[in-house]
Chain A
């Protein structure tokens, strides 16, 4: 086999992982801020609606944020599909026994593609349900705005939706618990001196995002009538 010619950075497996990491970073940052902002649902309906109104009123910011998020998820999913296919081609014949214990891989790392697919389905459904859901109106401090709070309360009283929501957010937490740490590795920012800390940060990140998001439907379903 002749020596392979050097290729453009983003066509290499490592370049693809850089794209995975950078786009993953965008979404990891987004879900944390989204979770934190939505915690207002535990505070008051008016505050929650005013927060939503402030975001949609800032058109340039919204345009930039939505564009970056859409581009990021498209690139993230495309790279994920390409890398997963390459990875499967690299070992078509499975082992009779898979590595276990210290020499085995974590469940989160082995199932990133399945988690990602479900999370993508969730994101699409979630946007349909809320962003493009029923438009109620309310007035807060004399300003007419969308009553998103009312829609959220309605949806979070449907047991089927809450169960699906809980499942997907647990998956998101699981996805982040492996993904956030991998961002550092893929970007080349994980040295031996910080590897242990990065693992903890990654686990904590997944836990905090999932716990924060989950507190919202659970609170609404059980305590807000």
Chain B
């Protein structure tokens, strides 16, 4: 396959190295010679790691899986920006052509109380899983799939729900927020489900429990700076946060408790 520029870059890397959760960690400098402009950021790190292994040194740990920008596994700060300088791009989809020859690239893990560092550039994002477990689902009886057209959904609602559903849970929103807030992530799930007829049934309980879990995990509040949305590889909108705020208020004033004795 052709089409690449074929040019190489000589870079310097400053990478956060931390042996484990309890290690204090520090930046370590590495030379990255002859990096193809056509390689992805993670391929560049693979090359560095190959050399480190050959020198019997510990390779740099980082999360990755699909390398297609859809799984949400990868992600760290590159020169202060979550997922690097490009908008709507995950680290795995970031290409080295976006960097200049001779540049020093600084890499550090997502930093948040709720995202403790596991090792090097890897952080523990299970706080997100617990927020989902708290209510980010629809309880449905299993059975045959209903006919797609049997449940009408207004097109604007379907579009907004789809946009919110593109969240891959990478954590860039938390990482880039000055308050390490998880509002964009949580709100994407809340509005995705609350916009759809199947999700409306549990909308009050869902937002109550997801927000409570989000707070309990130690994420900060929203200051409406918009850095989360700007850093989001899927461009999730701040409008979701506004919707979550409305949902929580609606739950506070409208939620009904189930009557004792099955309401009889």
Determine if B249 and A9 form an interchain contact, defined as CB atoms under 8 angstroms apart.
yes
Q: Which of chain B's residues have a CB closer than 8 A to the CB of A101?
A: 81, 85
Q: Does B133 contact A (CB under 8 A)?
A: yes
- A181 touches which of B180, B224, B231, B244 (Cβ 8 Å): B224
Which residues from 96 to 150 on chain B have a C-beta closer than 8 Å to any C-beta of chain A?
Answer: 106, 108, 111-114, 130, 133-134
Q: Does A105 contact B (CB under 8 A)?
A: yes
Most A CB contacts (10 A, CB to CB) among B130, B178, B209, B237 go to: B178
Q: Does A60 contact B (CB under 8 A)?
A: no
Determine if B222 and A191 form an interchain contact, defined as CB atoms under 8 angstroms apart.
no
**When each residue 1-37 of chain A gets 1 if its CB lies under 8 Å from chain B and 0 otherwise, what string results?**
1011111110011111110000000000000000000
Determine if B221 and A188 form an interchain contact, defined as CB atoms under 8 angstroms apart.
no
Determine if B80 and A100 form an interchain contact, defined as CB atoms under 8 angstroms apart.
yes
Give the nearest-CB partner of A83 in chain B.
B221
Determine if A91 and B112 form an interchain contact, defined as CB atoms under 8 angstroms apart.
yes
Q: Does B216 contact A (CB under 8 A)?
A: yes
Most B CB contacts (10 A, CB to CB) among A6, A89, A105, A187 go to: A6
Give the nearest-CB partner of B87 in chain A.
A102
Evaluate whether A14 and B237 lie within 8 angstroms (CB atoms) in the complex, with A3-B209, A190-B242 already known.
no
Q: Which of chain A's residues have a CB closer than 8 A to the CB of B231?
A: 99, 103
Determine if B223 and A97 form an interchain contact, defined as CB atoms under 8 angstroms apart.
no
Evaluate whether A182 and B223 lie within 8 angstroms (CB atoms) in the complex, with A1-B130, A13-B215 already known.
yes
Which residues from 211 to 239 on chain B have a C-beta closer than 8 Å to any C-beta of chain A?
Answer: 211-227, 230-231, 237-239
Evaluate whether A91 and B111 lie within 8 angstroms (CB atoms) in the complex, with A17-B221, A99-B176 already known.
yes
Q: Which of chain B's residues have a CB closer than 8 A to the CB of A90?
A: 112-114, 179-181, 218-220
Q: Give the contact-size bracket for chain A.
A: 35 or more
Q: Does A112 contact B (CB under 8 A)?
A: yes
Q: Which of chain B's residues have a CB closer than 8 A to the CB of A13?
A: 181, 183, 211, 214-215, 219-222
- B223 touches which of A18, A112, A191 (Cβ 8 Å): A112
- A95 touches which of B14, B77, B181, B224 (Cβ 8 Å): B77
Chain A residues at the B interface, C-beta cutoff of 8 Å: 1, 3-9, 12-18, 83, 86-87, 89-106, 109-110, 112, 178, 181-182, 184-192, 195
Known: A1-B216, A12-B211, A188-B246. 18 other contacts (CB 8 A): A3-B134, A3-B209, A4-B213, A5-B212, A9-B248, A16-B221, A17-B245, A90-B112, A95-B111, A96-B106, A97-B80, A101-B85, A103-B81, A103-B87, A105-B225, A106-B225, A109-B225, A190-B242
Selected A-B contacts with CB under 8 Å, 7 pairs = A9-B249, A12-B248, A13-B215, A83-B221, A105-B223, A109-B178, A109-B225
